[in-house]
Amino acid sequence: MKHIISPLDLSVQDIDDILNLSENIITSPEKYAKVCQGKKLATLFYEPSTRTRLSFEAAMMNLGGNVLGFSSADSSSAAKGESVADTIRVISSYADICAMRHPKEGAPLVAAQYSSIPVINAGDGGHNHPTQTLTDLLTIKNLKGRLDNLTIGLCGDLKFGRTVHSLIRAMIRYENVKFVMISPEELRIPDYLKREVLDRENIPYEEVNVLEPVMPKLDLLYMTRVQRERFFNEEDYIRLKDSFILDAKKMKHAREDMLVLHPLPRVNEISTEIDDDPRAVYFKQAEYGVYVRMALIMKLLELDGDC
Ligand code: CP
């Protein structure tokens, strides 16, 4: 049985298969409308979510399956002290597959060790968010036309932003990918990612703290929210939260074909004035999240469109 805890639990071939299946689902959704009939997805969310939880649920419903779960630790027996290990042992007899979000890094990995159903990490602390990465890859492939030969700007909270950490791990497997990391000094990418991922694989990257001068060289700009919930004190959050605000003036420095992605939710880091710019694709990106999660559920349950 396969669990998806890190983006590296999927090979490049697995990712290709999932992206191709997602594209087939977009083209012919009716073909997949009953693939998961009789199957159940459990969404175990110990942390807030709009897109990930609801797109997982929409994905399972689009496949003809059912969903059950909880949307906060407070509404589950975690509030009474139940461990993740005990919870997943029980859920394994209620559902066929589960998606888990947890504030503690490594919690979905612990769940996988005690589970008899596939566990999908739907975000663990500041660590990984592999299904957001699949969403990002589908967006890039479909709207940019390729996953290689890209200069990718990563902007905002690169210290706590798990979507950025997962995206880096996934993108370094494609040819000629370079990163420009744009953040305040205190929110730079963690050292372990530089050492164990970027340096080890000889991936070119630069770190800067001003956005405008690097904009002209970017194929993609991946904006992120400053992660208030991961700060130890509110003062630091307030000081750093508006470090980068992408607006129409800054977009003038970008190429005509540069795409702006954001995993959402957005707070203040992208002005709404650029929402109608054709280069701003973050709402399309959120839509792609449903299709890619449909494809992932099918892959993990070993189902195909002919069932
Ligand atoms: N992108 C993302 O994970 O959004 P949610 O927190 O709303 O799930």
Q: In 3D, which of 302, 305, 301, 306 has the Cα closest to residue 40? A: 301
At residue 11, the pLDDT reads 95
State pLDDT tens for residues 65-100: 999 999 999 999 999 999 999 999 999 999 999 999
Q: Are residues 136 and 281 in the same domain?
A: yes
- Stretch 225-251: mean pLDDT: 85
On the 0-12 / 13-18 / 19+ scale of CB atoms within 10 A, 272 is exposed
Which of ligand 1's atoms lies nearest the C-alpha of 286? 1
CATH of the domain at 293: 3.40.50.1370
Residues 139 and 240 in one domain: yes
Say how many domains are in the chain. Answer: 2
How far does residue 22's CA lie from ligand 1's centre (Å)? 19
* pLDDT recorded at residue 306: 53
Cβ of residue 50 lying under 6 Å from some atom of ligand 1: yes
Claim to verify: residue 171 and residue 112 sit in the same structural domain: no
- Residue 114, domain extent: 7-129+289-300
Residue 119 pLDDT > 50, yes or no?
Answer: yes
Instruction: Tell me if 204 CB under 6 Å of ligand 1.
Output: no
Both 276 and 173 in one domain: the answer is yes
Q: Which residue has the higher pLDDT, 83 or 242?
A: 83
Q: Which residues are catalytic?
A: 51-52, 80, 101, 129
Ligand 1: which residue has its CA nearest to atom 4? 51
Contact 156 CB / ligand 1 (< 6 Å): no
Q: Is residue 211 domain-resident?
A: yes
**231 part of a folded domain:** yes
Answer yes or no: do 108 and 189 share one domain.
no
The CB of 128 under 6 Å from ligand 1? The reply is no
Q: How many CB atoms lie within 10 A of CB 118?
A: 21
User: Is the domain of 103 the same as that of 249?
Assistant: no
Instruction: Compute the average pLDDT of residues 1-6.
Output: 91
d(CA 9, CA 299): 13
Residue 1 belongs to a domain: no
What's the pLDDT tens digit per position in 172-209? 999 999 999 999 999 999 999 999 999 999 999 999 99
Q: Are residues 67 and 160 in the same domain?
A: no
Give pairs for 236-242: CB < 8 Å, separation 24+. 236/186, 240/157, 240/184, 240/186, 240/187, 241/267, 241/268, 242/268, 242/269
pLDDT at residue number 307: 40
The DSSP line for 192-240 is HHIIIIIITTT--EEEES-SGGGGGG-SEEEE----GGG-S-HHHHHHH
Residue 151's DSSP bridge partners are 178
Residue 49 CA, ligand 1 centroid: distance in Å: 5
